[in-house]
Structure formats: C-alpha cells, structure tokens
Amino acid sequence: MIFRTRDLLVRQRSQLINALQGHLTEYGWVAPQGRGHVAILADHFEDEMGRSLPEEALAMFKVMLTTLGHLDQQIDALDHETKKRAREDEVARRLMTIPGIGPIAATAIAALAPLPEHFKRARDFAAWLGLTPRQMSTGGKQKLGSISKMGERTLRRLLIIGSSAVVLRANRRGAASSSWLDRMLARKARMLVIVAQANKTARIVWAVLMKKEDLGLRWQRRHNAKTAPEAVGDVGGRRKAGHNSRRDGVEQTRILQCATSTQNLIWLRSANSHAGQRP
C-alpha cells in the first residue's frame, strides 16, 4: 500500500510540474526542465517575472507551488518509511545487495512479486516481467525482436530505472575491464544496454530469492568453487574425466578412474599371469 501511494503522489507531482512549466510558456517564460529547477521559481515570482504575469494567473501559480511543496513533504515521509521497512525486512535487505536495487525496488519486489518457486528458471521470471525478447522465429531460423513488455509493468519500470543508474555509473567511472557490461557498452547502444542489464538484474533477483542468500555470498561461494583444487583419487565412487596436456612437444595423458562398486573392479594383467586367466 505504501508503494502504491508513493507512486500516485509522484505522478501527481510530475503532472503539477508539467502544468506549471506549460502555463508559464503561454506567458513567455520558459522554465528549465527538471524538478530541481522548479524549486527556484518561487523566488522569481516576486521579481520581474511575477510583475509581468496577470494577478489571476500569479495566484494560480502560487497555488501550484504550494501544492507541490506539500507533495514533496509527503513523498519524503513515505521514502523515510520505505527505507525503515526495507531495513527491517530480511528479503528486502537481501535484494538491496544487488546493484541497481534500492529500498523502493526491494520493497516493491517483496510485495508484488510471486514466490520464486512458481518459476522453473530465472528466464521465466524475467519473461513474467516482460524483459525477454519476443520470439519471431520461423522456418527453423531464430529471430528475436524487442522485449515483450508483458506482465508486471511496475517492477519492470523500477528495474529499468535501477539499471539506468548502473549504466550511468559505468559510463562516468568506467566498468570493470573485460566485464560483461564493459563489452556491451563498447558495441551496443546505451538504451539497449540498460534493458539488457534490467533483464540480467531480474534473473539475479530470482536467484537471490530462490537461494535465500545475499548476492555477495553467492559470488564468494562460486569464486571459491572455481579456485578450489581438484581432488585426485576420490573414493566416493565418482569418475574423474581424464585430460591431456602438452609439455615440450610430448603429449602426456593422465587418466583418473575410480571404481563405482565392488562388482566393477579393474582387471590388471600382470607379467607373470597367463593370457585369459585372472590372478
């Protein structure tokens, strides 16, 4: 409920700002775009701009600015409450470990998204959000179009907004060398990269919800699994695949095998045994 209320107030604030700027344009005053520039209009209504406006119009502009100030206070109060709830909710805290997911997106996902068990894989969750490409394949040829934009539009919008912040940070400060985001920015348009990042974030969200652990712990566990030395001579009944290596032009082969049961023993023929007889 708190998220829906905040979303409603934000839309009303955007409508007020657009109406204020549009009506000022009718009287020959062009206000800069952006919510930050609207706050300084109150000071200009007392100088030359205010004297050039009709009294009836000036009174309506002041009503708009007063209403805009009330909306800002209410939105700030809801933001404070959202952050408080996000800190107290375990699922929201876990989601905020993902880049591009803040308190608002985390609480919205925790409240609006269904259980992760309802989806078989991470791609199904991204498809439910409408972030996967539309399939237009025919004649055995795979052709992917734009994203489907099906499903929950609110969560999709929040993920795209968060991904735009991640891409903007990467453009300003640079992404990690040879990373997925760095390669995408080098060969794709910025908006396409934002949507692709949102798709990737949605899949990470499903994995975090499904495994019930922070993103940092998952990355650390995968890193430890990749860097751990391979076990040789495992007696647990598993078979290790052999691999070939070349050293100084001489091919050396190492084959590691383990017996899976006592009935599948390896018969080794010794030098003293006769052919066809088991020792």
Q: Supply angle C-alpha 97, 103, 109, rounded to 5.
A: 85
Do 68 and 131 fall within a single domain?
A: no
**Can you tell me the distance from the alpha carbon of 125 to that of 140, in angstroms, rounded to the nearest whole number?**
26
Whether 97 maps to a domain, the answer reads no
Whether 13 maps to a domain, the answer reads yes
Whether 105 maps to a domain, the answer reads no
Do 194 and 121 fall within a single domain?
A: yes
Domain endpoint, select from 172, 197, 221? 221
Do 73 and 122 fall within a single domain?
A: no
Residues in the chain: 279
pLDDT score recorded for residue 187? 87
**Can you tell me the distance from the alpha carbon of 140 to that of 123, in angstroms, rounded to the nearest whole number?**
22
**Can you tell me the distance from the alpha carbon of 213 to that of 123, in angstroms, rounded to the nearest whole number?**
19
Mean pLDDT of all residues belonging to the chain? 76
Query: pLDDT band at residue 205, thresholds of 50, 70 and 90?
Result: very high
**Can you tell me the distance from the alpha carbon of 241 to that of 269, in angstroms, rounded to the nearest whole number?**
23
133, 145 Cβ separation under 8 angstroms: yes
Whether 101 maps to a domain, the answer reads no
Whether 72 maps to a domain, the answer reads yes
pLDDT score recorded for residue 270? 36
Higher pLDDT, 169 or 255: 169
Do 161 and 207 fall within a single domain?
A: yes
**Can you tell me the distance from the alpha carbon of 255 to that of 139, in angstroms, rounded to the nearest whole number?**
44
Domain endpoint, select from 221, 238, 262? 221
Terminus-to-terminus CA distance in the chain, angstroms?
79
**Can you tell me the distance from the alpha carbon of 218 to that of 225, in angstroms, rounded to the nearest whole number?**
11
Do 82 and 159 fall within a single domain?
A: no
Strand ranges inside the chain, DSSP E: 133-135, 144-147, 243-247, 250-254
- pLDDT tens by residue, 92-150: 999 998 989 999 999 999 888 888 899 999 999 998 998 888 777 777 777 777 777 77
Whether 140 maps to a domain, the answer reads no
- pLDDT tens by residue, 226-256: 555 544 444 444 444 444 444 444 333 333 3
Domain endpoint, select from 221, 252, 271? 221
Whether 102 maps to a domain, the answer reads no
Whether 23 maps to a domain, the answer reads yes
Position 57 pLDDT exceeds 70: yes
Q: What dihedral do alpha carbons 142, 143, 146, 149 form, nearest 10°?
A: -40
How many domains is the chain partitioned into structurally? 2
Q: What dihedral do alpha carbons 94, 100, 105, 106 form, nearest 10°?
A: 0
Q: What's the domain range around 74?
A: 1-88
Do 71 and 6 fall within a single domain?
A: yes
